[in-house]
Structure 1
Amino acid sequence: MFRIKDKHLQKRADPRDVARVLGEGMVFFGYMVFSILFGLLADRYGRWKILLISFLWGAYFSLLTSFAPSYIWFVFLRTMVGCGVSGHSQGLIIKTEFLPTKYRGYMLPLSQVFWLAGSLLIIGLASVIIPTIGWRWLIRVASIPGIILIMAFKFIPESARFNVSTGNTPAALATLERIAKMNRAVMPEGKLVEPVLEKRGRFADLLDAKYLRTTLQIWVIWLGISFAYYGVILASAELLERDLVCGSKSDSEVVVTQGNSEEGQSPCHCHLFAPSDYQTMIISTVGEIALNPLNILGINFLGRRLSLSITMGCTALFFLLLNICTSSAGLIGFLFVLRALVAANFNTIYIYTAEVYPTTMRALGMGTSGSLCRIGAMVAPFISQVLMSASILGALCLFSSVCVICAISAFTLPIETKGRALQQIK
Structure 2
Amino acid sequence: MSAKQTEPVTVISLRELSLGASEPQSRESKTFTVEEAVETIGFGRFHIALFLIMGSTGVAEAMEIMLIAVVSPVIRCEWQLENWQVALVTTMVFFGYMVFSILFGLLADRYGRWKILFISFLWGAYFSLLTSFSPSYIWFVFLRTMVGCGVSGHSQGLIIKTEFLPTKYRGYMLPLSQVFWLAGSLLIIGLASVVVPTIGWRWLIRIASIPGIILIMAFKFIPESARFNVSTGNTPAALATLERIAKMNRSVMPEGKLVEPILEKRGRFADLLDAKYLRTTLQIWVIWLGISFAYYGVILASAELLERDLVCGSRSESEVAVTGGVLEESQSPCYCHMFAPSDYRTMIISTIGEIALNPLNILGINFLGRRLSLSITMGCTALFFLLLNICTSSAGLIGFLFMLRALVAANFNTIYIYTAEVYPTMMRALGMGTSGSLCRIGAMVAPFISQVLMSASFLGALCLFSSVCVVCAISAFTLPIETKGRALQQIK
Same fold (TM over 0.5): yes
Q: 1:360 to 1:252 in 2, by over 3 A?
A: closer
Q: 1:303 to 1:134 in 2, by over 3 A?
A: same
Q: Tell me the CA shift for residue 272 of structure 1.
A: 2.9
Q: Tell me the CA shift for residue 126 of structure 1.
A: 1.1
Match of 1:244 in 2: 310
Which sits farther off after the overlay, 61-70 or 340-349? 61-70
Match of 2:478 in 1: 412
Structure 1: gaps (5+ residues): 1-12, 18-25
Contact 1:177-1:187 within 8 A present in 2 as well:
yes
Report which of the two structures shows the higher radius of gyration computed on alpha carbons.
Answer: 2
Q: 1:163 to 1:268 in 2, by over 3 A?
A: farther
Contact 1:224-1:403 within 8 A present in 2 as well:
yes
Q: Tell me the CA shift for residue 413 of structure 1.
A: 0.2
1:24-47 per-position Cα deviation (integer Å, ceiling 9, x unaligned): xx1000000000000000000000
Q: 1:405 to 1:53 in 2, by over 3 A?
A: same
1:237-266 per-position Cα deviation (integer Å, ceiling 9, x unaligned): 233444434257999999999999999999
Q: Tell me the CA shift for residue 234 of structure 1.
A: 1.5
- Output the CA distance in 2 between the equivalents of 1:260 and 1:182: 71
- Output the CA distance in 2 between the equivalents of 1:28 and 1:413: 26
Q: The residue matched to 1:264 in structure 2 has which SS?
A: helix
Contact 2:226-2:237 within 8 A present in 1 as well:
yes
Q: CA RMSD in A?
A: 4.7
Which sits farther off after the overlay, 282-291 or 258-267? 258-267
Q: The residue matched to 2:359 in structure 1 has which SS?
A: helix
Q: 1:188 to 1:260 in 2, by over 3 A?
A: farther
Q: Tell me the CA shift for residue 331 of structure 1.
A: 1.6
Contact 2:288-2:435 within 8 A present in 1 as well:
yes
Contact 1:43-1:361 within 8 A present in 2 as well:
yes
Contact 1:257-1:264 within 8 A present in 2 as well:
no
Q: 1:90 to 1:329 in 2, by over 3 A?
A: same
Q: Tell me the CA shift for residue 192 of structure 1.
A: 1.1
Find out whether 1:378 has 2:440 as its counterpart: no
Q: 1:249 to 1:263 in 2, by over 3 A?
A: closer
- Output the CA distance in 2 between the equivalents of 1:37 and 1:250: 41
Aligned length: 406
Q: Tell me the CA shift for residue 389 of structure 1.
A: 1.1
- Output the CA distance in 1 between the equivalents of 2:61 and 2:354: 31
Match of 2:238 in 1: 172
Contact 2:287-2:476 within 8 A present in 1 as well:
yes
1:100-156 per-position Cα deviation (integer Å, ceiling 9, x unaligned): 110000000000111111111111111111111111111111111111111111101
Q: The residue matched to 1:131 in structure 2 has which SS?
A: helix
Which sits farther off after the overlay, 105-114 or 239-248? 239-248
- Output the CA distance in 1 between the equivalents of 2:100 and 2:488: 25
The answer to which structure has the higher helix fraction is 2
1:363-404 per-position Cα deviation (integer Å, ceiling 9, x unaligned): 000000001111000101111121111111111111100000
Q: 1:312 to 1:83 in 2, by over 3 A?
A: same
Contact 1:263-1:271 within 8 A present in 2 as well:
no
Contact 1:165-1:194 within 8 A present in 2 as well:
yes
Q: 1:336 to 1:16 in 2, by over 3 A?
A: closer
Contact 1:319-1:400 within 8 A present in 2 as well:
yes
Contact 2:420-2:428 within 8 A present in 1 as well:
yes
Which sits farther off after the overlay, 230-239 or 295-304? 230-239
Q: Tell me the CA shift for residue 268 of structure 1.
A: 7.3
Q: 1:212 to 1:253 in 2, by over 3 A?
A: closer
Q: The residue matched to 2:321 in structure 1 has which SS?
A: strand
Which sits farther off after the overlay, 234-243 or 173-182? 234-243
Contact 1:43-1:201 within 8 A present in 2 as well:
yes
Contact 2:316-2:456 within 8 A present in 1 as well:
no
Q: 1:270 to 1:32 in 2, by over 3 A?
A: farther
- Output the CA distance in 2 between the equivalents of 1:249 and 1:260: 16
Which sits farther off after the overlay, 39-48 or 144-153? 144-153
- Output the CA distance in 2 between the equivalents of 1:132 and 1:261: 32
1:347-376 per-position Cα deviation (integer Å, ceiling 9, x unaligned): 000000000000000000000000111100
Which sits farther off after the overlay, 410-419 or 317-326? 317-326
Q: Tell me the CA shift for residue 320 of structure 1.
A: 1.0
Which sits farther off after the overlay, 306-315 or 67-76? 67-76
1:178-230 per-position Cα deviation (integer Å, ceiling 9, x unaligned): 11111111222111111111000000000000000000000000000000001
Q: 1:263 to 1:327 in 2, by over 3 A?
A: closer
Q: The residue matched to 1:29 in structure 2 has which SS?
A: helix
Q: 1:257 to 1:379 in 2, by over 3 A?
A: farther
TM-score by length of 2: 0.77
- Output the CA distance in 2 between the equivalents of 1:260 and 1:166: 67
Which sits farther off after the overlay, 125-134 or 307-316? 125-134
